[in-house]
């Protein structure tokens, strides 16, 4: 074998005879192994998180004696668990590596998902949702951090969008798989909803084994490009090869007021997606469809999300204005929500289905671009790891999305003002500017 040929042994890229790793070779490894594995892992993650929507069409709530308020509380506890352990989870990832931590994490939340077959009451439901959130904490920012160590800024936006295909693909598959598994009602002495929890949890456990043995370890250093030496915010950063998250870095990141609109906008807009994934199958069923039909129809909106995401990612690459694309994507979602609120009482059940499908299709089109925008404007890999039918409900969702839209506008204004100040102070230094 030629000494200059890069090969990969046990997930490690072999250097050439100068001690350098070929970035193009590493990109191939990432495209062929890292990105696909993390994408599929994201899909099973999303299955275990959103299958409650299909479960609710299978008489789950009546059997364990919970109402919608309890379901909502369970979802809130799950997301609280994610928030609590996201940063600690990524600190562990930096210590033991992506392969071990991400693989182990997927195994744990797959096991918790399987154990939901034993649910019997309200307390058990709330406890398992909380534990599921804690177990899932850190997968998304950890996976995105891992991707940022393999790609530069020009490559990252599209790869983040592709990575999120796993999330939205999982959301699309969930009701279809739920519809199929509900047909197993009574088989093996299990309810249909128990089959959903069991089978989809087992998917995650199998995926955890694949991740543990198949996810390549992070590559070694290669020479720092010239633009890194000048202090550019562009990726890849040499900081990625000294992975240490200190309490000071956490504090500096969380208190960086200039980026707060990013985080608050994400919280406002993305929080409207949770009720959609939870209740869309039930809403469609209330329009007059049978449970299996409702689950199948609910998948259409989520499937349409995939080309929507790809379209906005393409716009971002072409325009090189990620903030503007996020603004457009959130605006389209806001229009879809307003149309649903105004028109749903004036159309038949298929018209209502079309309106709800449109809302689901555009609900998260902005999200991958927003995440990539945040990452690109972080100065180091460690900072990126930290940073990453009810009318009243519709009005609240519209208000939240509108708030997020205004915050994105504010974020663009802040970044533009900062860039202008830095341009006047230190002409020509890209390292002190933010990507718009």
For every residue of 293-347, DSSP letters joined together read HHHHHHHHHHHHHHHHHHHHHHHHHHH--HHHHHHHHHHHHHHHHHHHHHHGGGS
Mean pLDDT of 231-253: 52
Q: For 108-164, what is each residue's pLDDT tens digit?
A: 999 999 999 999 999 999 999 999 989 988 888 888 888 888 887 777 777 887 888
CA distances from 62 to 58, 121, 310 (A): 9, 10, 40
Query: Is the confidence at residue 11, as pLDDT, over 60?
Result: no
Mean pLDDT of 70-77: 85
Q: For 259-297, what is each residue's pLDDT tens digit?
A: 777 777 777 787 788 788 888 888 999 998 988 888 889
Mean pLDDT of 394-401: 55
Of 60-64, 262-266, 275-279, 322-326, least confident by mean pLDDT is 262-266
Tell me, what's the pLDDT at 157?
72
The single residue listed with the structure tokens 């998902």 is 113
Query: Is the confidence at residue 406, as pLDDT, over 70?
Result: yes
Per 3-state DSSP, what percentage of the chain is helix, strand, and coil (rounded to 5)? 75, 0, 20
Q: What is the DSSP letter of 9?
A: E
Q: d(Cα 348, Cα 352) in Å, to the nearest integer?
A: 6
Residue pair 239/354 in contact (Cβ under 8 Å)? The answer is no
Query: Is the confidence at residue 356, as pLDDT, over 60?
Result: yes
Residue pair 135/105 in contact (Cβ under 8 Å)? The answer is yes
Query: Is the confidence at residue 244, as pLDDT, over 60?
Result: no
Tell me, what's the pLDDT at 197?
95
Return the H-helix or E-strand segment holding 221: none
Query: Is the confidence at residue 392, as pLDDT, over 50?
Result: no
* Domains in the chain with CATH codes: 22-212+245-432 (1.20.1250.20)
Provide the mean pLDDT of the chain.
Answer: 79
Output 274 or 65, whichever has higher pLDDT: 65
Three-state secondary structure call for residue 290: coil
Tell me, what's the pLDDT at 367?
80
Query: Is the confidence at residue 225, as pLDDT, over 50?
Result: no
What is the secondary structure of 27-95 as a DSSP string?
HHHIIIIIHHHHHHHHHHHHHHHHTHHHHGGGTHHHHTT--HHHHHHHHHHHHHHHHHHHHHHHHHHHH
The single residue listed with the structure tokens 């955890």 is 208
Mean pLDDT of 227-253: 50
Nearest to 41 by CA among 114, 116, 98, 93: 98
Q: d(Cα 389, Cα 394) in Å, to the nearest integer?
A: 8
Mean pLDDT of 341-351: 92
Beta bridge partners of 8: 13
pTM equals: 0.69
CA 390 to chain centre: 26
What is the secondary structure of 11-39 as a DSSP string?
TEEPP-TTS---HHHHHHHIIIIIHHHHH
Strand 12-13 vs strand 8-9: parallel, antiparallel, or unpaired?
Answer: antiparallel
Three-state secondary structure call for residue 272: coil
């Amino acid at each position: 074998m030629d000494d200059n040929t890069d090969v990969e042994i046990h997930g490690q890229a072999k250097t050439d005879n100068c001690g350098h790793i070929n970035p193009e070779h590493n990109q191939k490894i990432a495209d062929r192994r890292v990105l696909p594995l993390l994408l599929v892992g994201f899909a099973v993650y999303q299955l275990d998180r959103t299958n409650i929507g299909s479960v609710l069409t299978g008489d789950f709530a009546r059997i364990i004696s919970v109402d919608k308020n309890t379901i909502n509380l369970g979802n809130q506890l799950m997301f609280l668990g994610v928030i609590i352990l996201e940063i600690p989870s990524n600190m562990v990832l930096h210590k033991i590596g992506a392969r071990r931590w991400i693989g182990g994490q997927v195994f744990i939340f797959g096991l918790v998902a399987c154990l939901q077959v034993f649910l019997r009451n309200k307390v058990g439901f709330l406890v398992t949702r909380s534990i599921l959130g804690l177990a899932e904490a850190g997968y998304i920012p950890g996976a995105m951090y891992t991707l940022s160590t393999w790609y530069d800024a020009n490559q990252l936006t599209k790869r983040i969008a592709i990575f999120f295909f796993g999330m939205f693909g999982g959301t699309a598959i969930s009701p279809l798989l739920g519809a199929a598994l509900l047909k197993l009602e009574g088989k093996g002495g299990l309810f249909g909803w128990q089959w959903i929890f069991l089978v989809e949890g087992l998917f995650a456990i199998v995926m955890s084994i694949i991740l543990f043995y198949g996810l390549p370890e992070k590559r070694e250093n290669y020479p720092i490009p010239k633009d890194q030496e000048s202090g550019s915010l562009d990726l890849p950063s040499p900081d990625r090869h000294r992975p240490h998250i200190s309490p000071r870095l956490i504090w500096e990141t969380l208190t960086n007021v200039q980026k707060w609109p990013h985080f608050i906008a994400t919280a406002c807009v993305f929080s409207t997606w949770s009720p959609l994934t939870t209740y869309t199958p039930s809403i469609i069923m209330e329009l007059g469809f049978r449970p299996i039909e409702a689950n199948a129809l609910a998948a259409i909106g989520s499937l349409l999300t995939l080309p929507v995401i790809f379209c906005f990612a393409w716009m971002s690459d072409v325009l090189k204005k990620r903030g503007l694309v996020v603004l457009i994507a959130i605006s389209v979602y806001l229009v879809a929500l307003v149309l649903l609120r105004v028109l749903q009482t004036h159309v038949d059940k298929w018209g209502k289905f079309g309106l709800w499908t449109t809302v689901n299709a555009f609900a998260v089109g902005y999200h991958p671009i927003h995440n990539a925008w945040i990452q690109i404007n972080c100065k180091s890999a460690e900072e990126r790891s930290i940073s990453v039918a009810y009318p009243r409900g519709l009005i609240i969702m519209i208000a939240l999305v509108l708030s997020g839209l205004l915050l994105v506008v504010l974020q663009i204004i802040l970044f533009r003002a900062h860039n202008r100040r830095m341009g006047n102070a230190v002409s020509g230094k890209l390292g002190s500017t933010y990507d718009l």
